[in-house]
A and B are shown apart, each in its own frame.
Chain A
Amino acid sequence: MRWFFLIAAMLVPLAGQAAASPCLTRGTGDMGIIIERAAGSLQVVDTTAHSELFRVEGLGDLSHASAVYSRDARYAYIFGRDGGLSKVDLLCGTLVKRVVQGGNSIGGAISQDGRLIAVSNYEPGGVKVFSAESLELLADIPATRLPGGKGSKTVGLVDAPEQRFVFGLYDTGEIWIADLTDPKAPRLQRFKDIGRQPYDGLITPDGRYYIAGLFGEDGLALLDLWHPERGPSRILNHYGRGKKQLPVYKMPHLEGWAVAGDRAFLPAIGLHEILVVNRDGWQPAGRIQVHGQPVFVMARPDGRQIWVNFAFPNNDTIQVIDTETLKIIKTLKPGKGALHMEFTPRGEEVWISIRDLDQVKIYDTRTLEQTASLPADKPSGIFFTSRAHKTGL
């Protein structure tokens, strides 16, 4: 009887969807999702068993999709390219709710207290804030208007301590801080002239510094969120000085902060290099020549290695860098379309989606050998629940 009601309750909002499976009773700490970008579906996976638990369909255009987790790590919120915001229940393998909130979204974040979901949009530019519970719209923050009436594209949206969100405005070269303490009346702080064409942003894991990558400048913009009144400053200015800028066939992603000891690692743009910066004073501390335009530069959770993937036409390659010597210790050729990497919570494994092989390959990060694989339909982003408790992820 109980099952009947449970199943009936799950089926009602999802009429037309594949029949729901019974819900699992287990912790979600070793679970995650794999985005299947072309099919508009995702897999719920078990990272201990290396297995698929559920496939959830009907999520729309998932190219470039990203995800965040509720603080109980039961629900994933997926931000799709078509402006769709979907809430997926990992234990039941169901799409709980989906709203199409904007024309063209690029990413999102969950607030410090877990109650708000913010989504940034290319079109119309701006940020919308939703209830994490119901996906009801709570606040709409339009971006600066451009001549012609369109809003500036918003990029690099992250959550920050004290119930804030921070994001960049691509067309107008701004960083905004939105304080959502009262979701009905967001308080905005706007910083102008931060540099040309910010294309993405990241926040340090302690939530103190926001860094925007700039497409139109040789440098990055840094904002100290403990002292926003000091305004943004420029770091790694002229890192590419005198060098010929190479074409960029895919924009790098700054999400995730690759830190090892007192050094941080960032993708250069227009150079086949990784920039090393001293966190103490933000001075350049070196550069590493790599195989192509880096896209994701990710540190193994213990900071001992950096794993890098690359833009077209080098997206068949992954390089592993030793953070002590700054040397490349391995060049892997896992297959064409190596789009995304995700470490297990303590970093003994890394999962890599290989789009053109319809596979996710799993590597042991000690031996740097592949140990397992999982079939997936044109996989792109991989997101594990350990993100639930990390600022900026």
Chain B
Amino acid sequence: MLNCKSLMAGTALALFSLAGIADSAPQRKAEILHLLKHDCGSCHGMRLQGGLGPALVPERLKPFSAEQLAATILHGRPGTPMPPWKPFLTEQEALWLAGLLKKGIEP
């Protein structure tokens, strides 16, 4: 809403990196989706409808750019239970995941 452009840029970026990941390592993609469902799911709900952490659905994530979300995923939110996933995800993977979340995904 507020930043339609960066949203679009984010989506484009996400699509781009989606293609990148899909081409380079389809197996890795499946691993990340498994992580999303089961490990992110332990706080955000297996269907991402929320739990201790908020729902990760497009409606809610609208105000954030994919880059912002990727930064949250990689570095966590200090002072909250959201942990940093940097040891387990590359920047490109986090951006891909952020893009998926913004588009809406049912893992």
Q: CB distance B46 to A61 under 8 Å?
A: yes
A153 to B45, CA, bound (A): 14
Number of inter-chain CB pairs below 8 Å: 61
Contact of A63 among B41, B76, B84 (CB under 8 A): B41
Main secondary structure of the interface of B (DSSP, over half): loop
Q: Could you tell me if A104 and B42 are in contact, using CB atoms closer than 8 angstroms?
A: no
Q: Does A149 contact B (CB under 8 A)?
A: no
Given the interface contacts A153-B52, A313-B88, does A82 sit within 8 Å of B42 by beta carbon?
A: no
Contact A248 B83 (CB under 8 A): yes
The distance in angstroms between the C-alpha atoms of A302 and B81, with both chains bound, is 34
Partner of B81 from A37, A104, A123, A248 at Cβ < 8 Å: A248
Q: Which of B42, B45, B88 contacts A250 (CB 8 A)?
A: B42
**A376 interfacial by beta-carbon distance below 8 Å:** no
Compute how far the CA of A63 lies from the CA of B81 in the bound complex, rounded to whole angstroms: 18
User: Considering the chains assembled together, what is the distance between the CA atoms of A249 and B89 in angstroms?
Assistant: 14
- Interface residue tally on B, bucketed by range: 10 to 19
Expressed in whole angstroms, the Cα–Cα distance for A38 and B106 within the complex equals 12
The dominant DSSP class at the A interface is loop
Contact across chains for A82 and B52 when beta carbons are under 8 A apart: no
Tally of contact residues, A, Cβ under 8 A: 27
B interface footprint on A58-78 (CB within 8 Å = 1, 0 otherwise): 000101100000000000000
Q: Is the CB of A82 within 8 A of B49?
A: yes
B52 touches A122 (CB 8 A): yes
With a cutoff of 8 Å between Cβ atoms, the chain B residues found around residue A38 in the complex are: 37, 46
Contacts of B49 in A (CB 8 A): 61, 81-82, 103-104
Contacting B at CB under 8 A, from A74-97, are: 81-82
Task: Say how far A81's CB is from chain B's closest CB, in angstroms.
Answer: 5
Q: Which residues of A contact B47 (CB under 8 A)?
A: 61, 63, 81-82
At the interface, yes or no: B63 with Cβ under 8 Å from chain A? no
Which B-chain residue is minimally distant from A82 (CB atoms)? B49
Contact between B43 and A251 (Cβ–Cβ < 8 Å)?
yes
How many Å lie between the Cα of A313 and that of B34 in the bound state?
13
Binary interface encoding of chain A residues 195-215 relative to chain B, with 1 for a CB under 8 A from any of its CBs, else 0: 001010000000000000001
Closest-CB distance, B89 to chain A (whole angstroms)? 12
Nearest chain B CB to A365's CB is how many angstroms away?
A: 27
Closest chain B residue, CB of each to CB of A170: B52
Q: A312 to chain B: which residues have CB within 8 Å?
A: 39, 42
Closest A residue to B86 by CB, please name it: A247
C-alpha spacing A215/B80, complex, angstroms:
8
List residues of chain B with CB within 8 A of the CB of A361. none
List residues of chain A with CB under 8 Å of any chain B CB: 37-38, 61, 63-64, 81-82, 103-104, 106, 122-123, 153, 170, 197, 199, 215-216, 247-251, 312-313, 337, 355
Q: When A and B form their complex, which 4 residue pairs have the shortest distance between CB atoms, in order from nearest?
A: A63-B46, A247-B83, A312-B39, A250-B42
